């Protein structure tokens, strides 16, 4: 395959984000947030290990001011200039050294401006959400903001007790003190920073177990009937995806529906957030529900090593919409593929799917052409081989990161087929290839 590789340092699509000098093992975040004033204060304790010899550690942090930094319990010299917090170590340390950095910070969090729009922590009419993809995590905690650098997380959020908090991880208890309540969450599964989230609102929670997975729906009481109707198919979706992709890879699945209108749903680790406009009581956003659920396998458990490989997230999630359409008695996946293939033929043929560039990484052609490649693989390999190889893929890369080259090597090893030319046609060439003949 002739795909160009991005440089090994940082991420070529977000070159000001991340630091290749260390890997984080654990983010331990103690957050205090006041909804009425949009005031956030936090203490981030970051356990890391150095990747090579370093004397300065750089963390991504924007719009929030640092008041103190400690390294292994001792006050440290630091300098802050958005988008970086630079911490000088007491002395240079060699690769493989474990270091704990504690950062105290505060401010009024706001989304950061980026080439992809305003992203990160966002104040709602009565609450807050986090929408961090791809570089919004530094709007609420100091981090090594690179999609391929995953870490465990502990998050505690203290806020007014009449608000409900949902955050990354499994609930780990609550404590109430006067007018405030602290919510605690633990995420032992390694998580990319852009997939960490905190959602705050006046929500009621409805817990259940669907297809063996603990699921909770969090939403305003006024939306209860619409939410119950529109998410009634979630158990059947989980069953289908468990059979197609392998067992659900995370500890639980939380769905948050805000009272506010959102442009698009928001994916996070073990979580998806929808706006009130996405629940109409007649299932109008069914494909979006399937798409966000599928990201728990593709994007969240199996993450991307760099943003160049975004099609691995979005192509498989988009194809999952077509699988659900077929399974629920609507258009077949093949019919959906041929419809979207015809639609793409009418658009400019100038996108390189395997390396679309930062300006086009969220272009709808990445989603649809990526899904078409998945369908072409299915037609080429046949259902039994295709789904067996796919389940082996999600198992072998579970909680890790991957590249397009990894997927190609995996499929060729599983099937004993040479798929390089097919991958080149879809990922390197810009002209849209023909789909193989239907055989489903």
Per-residue pLDDT of the chain (440 residues), as tens digits, is 655 444 335 799 999 999 999 999 999 999 999 999 999 999 999 999 999 999 999 999 999 999 999 999 999 999 999 999 999 999 999 999 999 999 999 999 999 999 999 999 999 999 999 999 999 999 999 999 999 999 999 999 999 999 999 999 999 999 999 999 999 999 999 999 999 999 999 999 999 999 999 999 999 999 999 999 999 999 999 999 999 999 999 999 999 999 999 999 999 999 999 999 999 999 999 999 999 999 999 999 999 999 999 999 999 999 999 999 999 999 999 999 999 999 999 999 999 999 999 999 999 999 999 999 999 999 999 999 999 999 999 999 999 999 999 999 999 999 999 999 999 999 999 999 999 998 64
Which residues does 274 contact at the CB level (< 8 Å), separation at least 6?
255, 256, 257, 258, 262, 265, 266, 285, 288, 289, 292
Q: For the chain, which residues make up each domain, given as ranges?
A: 20-199, 203-296, 303-427
- CATH level 3 topology of 20-199: Immunoglobulin-like (2.60.40)
Residues 6+ apart with CB under 8 A from 362: 116, 310, 314
Burial string for 218-256 (b: 16+ CB within 10 Å, else e) reads: bbbeebeebbeebbebbbebbebbbebbbebbbebbbbb
The tokens of 420 are what? Answer: 């390089």
User: Hey, do 20-199 and 203-296 end up sharing a CATH topology, with the first three levels equal?
Assistant: no
**Tokens (6 digits) for 167:** 């955050």
Pick from 331, 367, 370, 365: nearest CA to 350: 365
Burial (0-12, 13-18, 19+ Cβ within 10 Å), 312: buried
CATH superfamily of 303-427: Neutral Protease Domain 2 (1.10.390.10)
Gyration radius from the chain CA atoms: 22
pTM over 0.85: yes
CATH code for the part of the protein at 203-296: 3.30.2010.30
Residue 375 CB neighbour total at 10 angstroms: 26
């Amino acid at each position: 395959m002739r795909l160009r590789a991005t440089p090994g340092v940082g991420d070529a699509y977000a070159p000001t984000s991340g630091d290749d000098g260390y890997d984080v093992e654990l983010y331990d975040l103690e957050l205090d947030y006041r909804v009425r004033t949009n005031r956030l204060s936090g203490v981030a304790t970051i356990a890391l290990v150095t990747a090579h010899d370093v004397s300065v550690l750089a963390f991504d942090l924007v719009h929030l001011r640092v008041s103190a930094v400690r390294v292994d319990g001792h006050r440290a010299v630091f300098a802050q200039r958005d988008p970086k917090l630079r911490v000088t170590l007491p002395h240079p340390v060699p690769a493989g050294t474990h270091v704990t950095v504690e950062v105290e910070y505060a401010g009024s969090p706001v989304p950061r401006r980026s080439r992809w729009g305003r992203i990160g922590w966002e104040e709602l009419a009565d609450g807050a959400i986090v929408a961090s993809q791809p570089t919004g995590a530094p709007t609420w905690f100091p981090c090594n903001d690179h999609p391929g650098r995953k870490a465990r997380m502990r998050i505690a959020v203290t806020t007014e007790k009449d608000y409900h908090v949902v955050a990354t991880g499994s609930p780990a208890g609550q404590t109430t003190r006067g007018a405030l309540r602290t919510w605690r969450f633990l995420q032992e599964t390694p998580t990319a920073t852009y997939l960490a989230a905190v959602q705050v609102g006046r929500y009621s929670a409805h817990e259940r177990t669907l297809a063996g997975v603990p699921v909770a729906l969090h939403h305003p009481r006024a939306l209860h009937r619409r939410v119950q109707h529109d998410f009634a198919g979630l158990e059947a979706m989980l069953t289908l995806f468990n059979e197609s992709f392998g067992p659900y890879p995370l500890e639980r699945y939380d769905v948050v529906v805000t009272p506010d209108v959102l442009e698009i749903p928001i994916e996070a680790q073990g979580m998806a957030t929808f706006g009130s406009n996405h629940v109409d009581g007649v299932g109008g956003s069914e494909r979006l529900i399937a798409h966000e659920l599928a990201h728990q396998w593709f994007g969240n458990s199996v993450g991307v090593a760099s943003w160049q490989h975004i099609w691995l997230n979005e192509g498989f999630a988009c194809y999952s919409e077509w699988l659900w359409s077929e399974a629920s008695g609507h258009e077949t996946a093949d019919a959906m593929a041929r419809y979207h293939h015809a639609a793409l033929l009418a658009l400019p043929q100038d996108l390189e799917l395997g390396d679309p560039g930062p300006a086009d990484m969220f272009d709808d052609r990445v989603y649809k052409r990526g899904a078409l490649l998945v369908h072409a693989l299915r037609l080429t390999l046949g259902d039994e081989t295709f789904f067996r190889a796919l389940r082996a893929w999600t198992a072998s890369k579970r909680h890790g990161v991957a590249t397009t080259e990894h997927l190609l090597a995996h499929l060729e090893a599983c099937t004993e087929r040479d798929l390089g030319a097919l991958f080149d046609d879809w990922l390197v060439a810009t002209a849209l290839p023909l789909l193989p003949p239907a055989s489903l």
